[in-house]
Structure 1
């Protein structure tokens, strides 16, 4: 997913809001998936008494959210970027 972000994200936002849109969306995703992930993983590990399956499920849910989000993102082929 990281390889296409540099080309795809600027196409999602008009020129006026491009920097803000990219920054807010990337930082929100970083907080939601990476920032609090260690705390959630530690809580799940304590809750499951050392079993790893809740952490694996949490990671799978995050991957599923990313997978579903790709289908709801708009197609940008043929759209003018001069906005």
Structure 2
């Protein structure tokens, strides 16, 4: 991945070869569980995290009418909190 803050390098096609293996150019990659793009922003990671948290909150909302508060808190602690920490 080539990091750049300007659009100048995005239009150029660069080829990197290490020990005869061609290294592909990608727009984003996952490194230590965090998605980063070639502009060093976390927009894709934040979108992915928001989608997961939103689904979990939907599950908690749908079950809130049939379970007690302690169970809802336990669901929050197990479904939402790990994504936020």
Compute the TM-score of the two structures, normalised by the length of structure 1: 0.42
Q: Which has the larger helix fraction?
A: 1
Greater length-normalized contact order (CA 8 Å, ≥ 6 residues apart): 1
- State the structure with more CA Rg: 2
